[in-house]
Amino acid sequence: MPDADPDRLTQLELEKSRIEARLEQDRARVRHAERKAEDRRNALLGAFLAHHLARNPKLRGDVEKNIYRYHKRKRDQDFLKAYFDALAKEADTETG
């Protein structure tokens, strides 16, 4: 077997590095697109849920009763509590 050409090996290593960098860029692009789609889906579902929570007291009560089991962080619970309190207050002013 003839001796390997060191210049050729160097070129192949550089090409390998460029390909790996492009692969990582493509993977990052895919991850970004997936996060963006997930954020959009969550925003659309959240808007739908918020719309129905504002108009349906039974749904609002059921969701408020159960949502704190899912969201355990105190900060999130306080944020949601303020939201539900505002919805209840808004409903009271509409009916009263």
Q: So what's the pLDDT on residue 36? A: 98
Q: So what's the pLDDT on residue 96? A: 64
Amino acid at position 66, single letter: N
Q: What is the average pLDDT score of the chain?
A: 93
In 10-38, which positions are buried (b, 16+ CB within 10 angstroms) versus exposed (e)?
eeeeeeeeeeeeeeeeeeeeeeeeeeeee
Domain-wise residue ranges, the chain: 1-54, 56-96
The answer to whether residue 37 scores a pLDDT higher than 70 is: yes
